[in-house]
Amino acid sequence: MDKKLTGEIGFEEYSKAWKITKASDVAVAKRIFAFMDKDKAHGDTDVLHFQEWAVMTYDFCTLREEGVVQWTFSLFDADQNRRLSVEEFKEMARVTLG
């Protein structure tokens, strides 16, 4: 993904590497990217550093089933009201089940 070998990527590079082109998939990918991008305190919201990706990957891979469910839920609860609307649920089903 990191073609410039800088140790960081922007969302455009991220989505290109994962071949994310559908508008509906882009919305979910942006939430995943934002979830991994922890350096928001410094105003750095459009760049993902390798360390952020590595920490998120480790965290995700060590989650138990309940944690994976909560993480997945948080990605599709776009308005963060702790409930999935019918549209949010359909989007989650489409992305996770194809």
- Whether 59 is covered by a domain: the verdict is yes
- Whether 4 is covered by a domain: the verdict is no
**pTM for this entry:** 0.61
Domain count, the chain: 1
pLDDT tier at 96 (50, 70, 90 boundaries)? Answer: confident
HSE toward the beta carbon, residue 92, CA cutoff 13 A: 17
pLDDT in tens, 7-64: 888 888 888 888 888 877 887 788 788 777 776 655 556 788 888 888 888 888 898 9
* Structural domain range at position 58: 9-97
Look at strands 8-10 and 47-49 and give their pairing.
antiparallel
* CATH, residue 51: 1.10.238
- Whether 39 is covered by a domain: the verdict is yes
- Whether 3 is covered by a domain: the verdict is no
- Whether 1 is covered by a domain: the verdict is no
Cβ density class 41-57: b for 16+ within 10 Å, e for less: eeeeeebbbeebbeebe
- Whether 13 is covered by a domain: the verdict is yes
* Residue 86, pLDDT above cutoff 90: yes
Amino acid present at 28: V
